[in-house]
Amino acid sequence: MKRGLLLAMVLLTCGAVLAQAPPDQSGGNLEAVLDHMDKAAASFTSAEADFIWDQYQKVVEETDTQKGKVYFRRQGKDTQMAAAIGAPEEKYLLYSGEKVRVYQPKIDQVTEYGAGKNRAEVESFLVLGFGGRGHDLLKSFDVRLLGYEQVDGVRTAKLEMAPKGARARSVFERIVLWIDATRGVSLQQQFFEPSGDYRLARYNNIQLNQKLPDSVFKLKTTSRTKYVNPQGGL
């Protein structure tokens, strides 16, 4: 899988239902947190949220910021994802039907990537925070409960996850999630790359299990939109 696209997929899929009830009684017990995540997965249908992504680049010691809105919904056994990035450059990303499509209105171009044989890997990241079972995380990650911290005045459970697969570790050494212990949503995530770069993702105005219009999961292209299919897919 292409490194940049895997990065985008992970960042867009980690801000959602991770627990249905507050894990306050867990006493630092990871198993209790995973159980709550399992319960949330059973009732998950959709989510939408505003996001801010801060990308820190170690070499130049600079931080770039992107803002937008992200949507998820479950369709049978599959999960669809759409994101609208408004700043600094308008861009739309859609995952549906085994393809990732990236639309850039400025140049009126859609770049399509087929998941192909890597579909399972792509979807494992998709359900990382949206509708995935807690215990399923243990198949792909070494998971630790680091304790509890305040994020914007909200008590959160802090999970650290290290990918087990060598390919995934080449993209991210570890991922940290801060889970709202009352609402059961991930308010913040941080993704650490081997290079020393990291991405901090923050989510707010989160709405869960509401009906989303079909139009959200369609790219608003024009009659002149150019479609590009890079060889090799994901």
Tokens for 18?
């991770």
Note the pLDDT of residue 221. Answer: 96
DSSP 76: T
For the whole prediction, is pTM greater than 0.85? no
Low pLDDT (below 50) residues in the chain = 1, 14-27
Note the pLDDT of residue 166. Answer: 87
Note the pLDDT of residue 233. Answer: 53
Cβ atoms 164, 124 nearer than 8 A: no
Backbone torsions φ then ψ of 165, nearest 5 degrees: -80, 140
Note the pLDDT of residue 21. Answer: 35
Domain positions in the chain are 3-228
What's at 225, amino acid-wise?
A: T
The CATH T-level fold of domain 3-228 is outer membrane lipoprotein receptor (LolB), chain A (2.50.20)
Tell me how long the chain is: 234
